[in-house]
Amino acid sequence: MTRTRTLRIDRTACTGQGLCAELLPELIGLDEWGYPVLEQTTVPSRLHAHARRAVAACPVLALRTDRTDDDRHRRRDDTVPDPGNRGGR
């Protein structure tokens, strides 16, 4: 089973402090206003520790990594139920 880590930025939470780009320059650059730009979203295994450190250091929790395992083991009903669906009413 292969594990892939994907890097994501919550653009509404990000305040453009640039710490993530300092800690993970291999994957994150900065735009002209100082906001992060992902060079690529897939985190190579050699950078997993650096990515975790950058995520932990984000002062506004705008950076995260998602781990994706083999999706064949995930059930369809593992999703959050729709709050608008009230049992068929």
Q: Which range marks the domain in which residue 60 is found?
A: 4-68
Residue 89 domain flag: no
pLDDT, tens digit (0-9, with 9 covering 90-100), for 5-41:
999 999 999 999 999 999 999 999 999 999 999 999 9
Examine residue 23 and state whether it is found in any structural domain, yes or no. Answer: yes
Listing from the earlier edge strand, what are the strands of the sheet with 42-43? 42-43, 4-9, 63-68
What CATH number corresponds to the domain at position 45? 3.30.70.20
Alpha helices by DSSP H, listed for 1-89, are 19-23, 48-57
The verdict on residue 63 lying in a domain is: yes
**pLDDT confidence tier of residue 68, bands split at 50, 70 and 90:** confident
Query: How many domains, in total, are found in the chain?
Result: 1
| pLDDT (0 to 100) of residue 75 | 42
For position 84, what pLDDT does the model report? 52
Does the residue 40 lie in any domain?
Answer: yes
d(CA 50, CA 48): 5
**pLDDT score of 43 more than 70:** yes
